[in-house]
Structure 1
Amino acid sequence: MTSIRRKLLFTLLIALLAAGFTTATATFFSAQAEFNDFLDAHLRETAESLGESARNSLPASAPEHLTIVGDAPSYRIIVQVYDSANNSLWQREGTPALPLPDGPGFGLAKVDGKTWRTYSVAAGPLVITAGQDLGVRTSLAATAAFRILQPLLLLLPFIAIAVWIVVGSGLAPLEKTARSVARRSPTSLEPLSMKGLPTELAGLVNAINDLLRRLAESLSAQQRFASDAAHELRTPLTALKLQVQLAQRAKTPEAQQKCFSRLNEGINRATRLVQQLLTIARLDPDASKKPMTTIDLAELAVSVREDMAPIAQQKNIPISVNPGAAVIDGMEDAVRLMVTNLTDNAVRYTPEGGRIELSTSTENGLSVICVSDNGPGIAPEERQRVFDRFYRALGTKTSGTGLGLAIVKRIVDIHHGSITIEDGLDGRGTTFRLTFPPLGASTPRSPMRIA
């Protein structure tokens, strides 16, 4: 696992060392150039000074007794005098013999593997040469560069400690937040405290708090759904158990057959309830991320009418379709289930001899599909609550689970549509009016949730 503190410390120290060595290198080359200019001038002044003295009065003593004014031991300048009159060479004891120059001025000479910088001047029969090992110049420049780098090397441990403390102080809120999360119980979804957090960490904590909020909503919805589902399943299962007991106690085949008929009806109701529970459960988690296709609502309405017509004919209810141009992006199976649920509701609640109409159209750029009937209708005060799970309007005598319209509302939300309830056909009954964005307008989509 990578440590931010160690990474920052290592990076900063490397950067400091790199900056120090870069500065030292630049100082070395700069100092070397300065020393070269200065020591070249010093060589020239030394040789010319001795040459001027020799012109005024030929040297009466050996070169080792010559004194170079302004010379420093660290410069290590040597002087030799060649007398062309008697072909003799004078030089200080212990100094190497430099080769005779080709002419006056600066030159380079190789002696014993070392390179010497020389300056020669003529004074009558004498040739005076001042020389200096180039290694001396390099050493002087290196010393100057090291003096620049030395304070940084000495301060490096203190800088490392300071960086460690500063980085640790900066990361303290992150560590505090991590400990706060670690101490939480699995069921605690309260938002993390934002007090005293730096700006860089506030964004992360905000995102975590948003995730916790969505998790709390999801868990609450699941718990409520599980509780409601258990409550709704308990009743039909109890009824089935009673029907089985009645069938066991029946004394005549007719009574037994009647119990079995009721048992079959109860099984059908329970099966329908389970199917709808599974349907709404499948629609909940990230349903809007599923692939969408282009759906012609007019064709879909005709197809649903053909599927529902046999059931409607049992109550002598005709289903008509008024098709108009209407196209949406959506999950075809879900949209079909939505229209089928509304049509099935209309068939079950519309009395015998009534009528149902499916219509599609495009209004103000929006795709619209309506399912209308001339049944008993829904009271205005209950038109919003009918979309709640397991809710059934007061006075409803038709059997049902209270999940059909909740499924419809969920599918509408997934497709970023809206649903309203209006009066139905012939001034009575109900019209479910579903409005959806035009083709292509509902993408990209974000996940939807229902409580």
Structure 2
Amino acid sequence: MRSIRRQVLAWVLGFLVLALLIMMVVSYQRALHEIEEIFDAELAQAAKLVGKLVLADIDSKGTVFTVDSDLNKSVRHKYEKYIGYQVWHRDSLMLKSAGVPDQALGMRAGFQDVAIASQQWRVYGLYLKGSDYRIFTAEEVVGRKELSWYFAVESLGVMFWAIPLFALIIALTVDRGLRPLKRLSEQVSDRDINQLRPVVGDHTPKELKPLVNALNGLLERLDTAISRERRFTTDASHELRTPLSAIRLHSQLAMRAEDLEESSRSLKKVLQAVDQSTHMVEQLLVLARLSPESGQVEFEDVDLTDICRKVSEQLTQAAGEKHIRIATEYPAAGSVVVNSNPHLLHTIFRNLLDNAIRYSPADSEIRCRLSRTDGELAVSIQDNGPGIPEHLLEQVQERFARLAG
């Protein structure tokens, strides 16, 4: 399983180590250059010092003096370097330090790199003005490299000790930065299906705000869907209870009937209750599938005159049983097109017209009218039923509400 913490630590530490290595290489190159400059400056200073302090003691007869500087290594400082020198008068070697060859270290004034007896030397030549004296100070290149490498290893050791410290600091920082995500995870995992309230995000970092908002949106949609299912279950159980009770009652009456006519009346009532139940189930299924809360409602161009005509034809038989006439009136322009859902419109027209037929007296007329006035479309279904009292208008608009009588 992938871990954000491990990935962040791996990437950060990897780039940190890479950056430190690059810095070490660059720093080593720059330090090496500066060390070379310092060492060269020391050679020049040593040559000038020899020129000022030693020449006065050279034997005028040309005897070569060797100044012993080969000290015990145990008493030398770890940063101490060996610098050899020669003093020449014309072509005669007048003075030199121990360990320096007898041949001339250099051939000209200034800095130069020479190879003597398979050894590489960095040499500085000083020609004293107004005299025939030449002074050469020299240092073996191997010694310079050893000291430079010693400095580099010391720096590298410090850097390798610093990497674990940086790793610990980065790990603690990452853990602290991921705490809001951990708290959010715990807050969500502690919930059950009945706890769909929004996640509190007052102290949530702005990087987690989109996640919290998306999660709250999902919880809100889930709560809406569960509430819709609960309402559907409640409505279905409530609406189906009445026709099912009627079916049971009339079935029992038909079984107890003493003659064929009484049994036939009870069975007819059973069929009516079955038809009512079938119609109710169809309405419930349509409502569940096409409820705006389900998010599945699709809109298209719908001809209202066509829907009104089809619904009227479907209910003609029910209206004829009560000798009710259905009259339709359409605009002179012909078709009336609106952008809506045809299934929902069909259900609305059918319910209104079915209620009009159900509660209108026999031998009456129901008028279905479509009219357009000032660009507005009006749909009305008028009947001669008892009507709805004004104080019950709000109640009748509830889902599956039915008033007594």
TM-score by shorter chain over 0.5: yes
Q: Retained in 2: the 8 A contact 1:98–1:109? A: no
Q: Deviations over 1:398-428 (max 9, x none)?
A: xxxxxxxxxxxxxxxxxxxxxxxxxxxxxxx
CA shift in 2, pair 1:145/1:328, >3 Å: farther
Q: Tell me the equivalent position of 2:82.
A: 76
Q: For 2:230, which of 181, 206, 223 is the aligned residue?
A: 223
Q: Retained in 2: the 8 A contact 1:115–1:134? A: yes
Q: Which has the higher contact order (CA 8 A, sep 6+)?
A: 1
Q: Tell me the equivalent position of 1:309.
A: 312
Q: Tell me the equivalent position of 2:402.
A: 392
Q: Retained in 2: the 8 A contact 1:358–1:372? A: no
SS state at 2:403 partner = coil
Which structure is larger by alpha-carbon Rg, 1 or 2?
A: 2
Q: Deviations over 1:137-192 (max 9, x none)?
A: 55555555666665554455455445544544554555455445444444444566
Q: Which amino acid aligns with 2:241?
A: R
Q: Retained in 1: the 8 A contact 2:304–2:337? A: no
Using the alignment, how far apart are the partners of 1:327 and 1:321 within structure 2?
Answer: 12
Using the alignment, how far apart are the partners of 1:101 and 1:287 within structure 2?
Answer: 97
Q: Tell me the equivalent position of 1:404.
A: none
How far 1:112 moved relative to its partner? 7.8
Q: Retained in 1: the 8 A contact 2:69–2:98? A: no
Using the alignment, how far apart are the partners of 1:18 and 1:6 within structure 2?
Answer: 18
Using the alignment, how far apart are the partners of 1:235 and 1:337 within structure 2?
Answer: 21
Question: Is 1:105 matched with 2:117?
Answer: no
Using the alignment, how far apart are the partners of 2:146 and 2:257 within structure 1?
Answer: 119
Question: Is 1:259 matched with 2:266?
Answer: yes
Q: Retained in 2: the 8 A contact 1:21–1:149? A: no
Q: Retained in 2: the 8 A contact 1:29–1:141? A: no
Using the alignment, how far apart are the partners of 1:326 and 1:108 within structure 2?
Answer: 104
Using the alignment, how far apart are the partners of 1:97 and 1:268 within structure 2?
Answer: 129
Q: Retained in 2: the 8 A contact 1:350–1:373? A: no
CA shift in 2, pair 1:354/1:329, >3 Å: closer
Using the alignment, how far apart are the partners of 2:100 and 2:389 within structure 1?
Answer: 121
Q: Which shows bigger deviation, 368-377 or 92-101?
A: 92-101
Q: Which segments of 5 or more consecutive residues in structure 2 lack a partner in the other structure?
A: 71-75
CA shift in 2, pair 1:254/1:31, >3 Å: same
SS state at 1:357 partner = strand
Question: Is 1:382 matched with 2:405?
Answer: no
Q: Which amino acid aligns with 2:327?
A: P
Using the alignment, how far apart are the partners of 1:156 and 1:29 within structure 2?
Answer: 21
Q: Tell me the equivalent position of 2:73.
A: none
Q: Retained in 2: the 8 A contact 1:120–1:127? A: yes
Question: Is 1:276 matched with 2:279?
Answer: no
Where do residues 156-171 of structure 1 align in structure 2 (5 Å cutoff)? 156-165=163-172, 167-169=174-176, 171=178
CA shift in 2, pair 1:103/1:282, >3 Å: same
Using the alignment, how far apart are the partners of 2:172 and 2:64 within structure 1?
Answer: 68
CA shift in 2, pair 1:113/1:200, >3 Å: farther
Where do residues 44-443 of structure 1 align in structure 2 (5 Å cutoff)? 44-47=44-47, 49-50=49-50, 60=62, 62=64, 64-65=66-67, 74-79=80-85, 85=91, 94=99, 101=106, 103-109=108-114, 116-122=121-127, 128-134=135-141, 136-137=143-144, 140-141=147-148, 144=151, 151=158, 153-165=160-172, 167-169=174-176, 171-172=178-179, 174-189=181-196, 197-199=203-205, 203=209, 208=215, 211-250=218-257, 252-284=259-291, 287-288=294-295, 292-293=299-300, 295=301, 297=302, 300-310=303-313, 311-312=315-316, 314=320, 315-322=324-331, 329-349=339-359, 352-360=364-372, 363=375, 368-376=377-385, 377-395=387-405
Q: Deviations over 1:192-241 (max 9, x none)?
A: 6668x554598455664564455344323322321231122122123223
Q: Which amino acid aligns with 2:312?
A: A
* TM-score, normalization by structure 1: 0.66
How far 1:266 moved relative to its partner? 1.8
How far 1:76 moved relative to its partner? 3.3
How far 1:373 moved relative to its partner? 2.0
Q: Retained in 1: the 8 A contact 2:290–2:297? A: no
SS state at 2:227 partner = helix
SS state at 2:402 partner = coil
Using the alignment, how far apart are the partners of 2:389 and 2:208 within structure 1?
Answer: 49
Q: Retained in 2: the 8 A contact 1:194–1:205? A: yes
* TM-score, normalization by structure 2: 0.72
- Number of residue pairs matched? 384
How far 1:103 moved relative to its partner? 3.5
How far 1:286 moved relative to its partner? 5.7
Q: Which segments of 5 or more consecutive residues in structure 1 lack a partner in the other structure?
A: 396-451
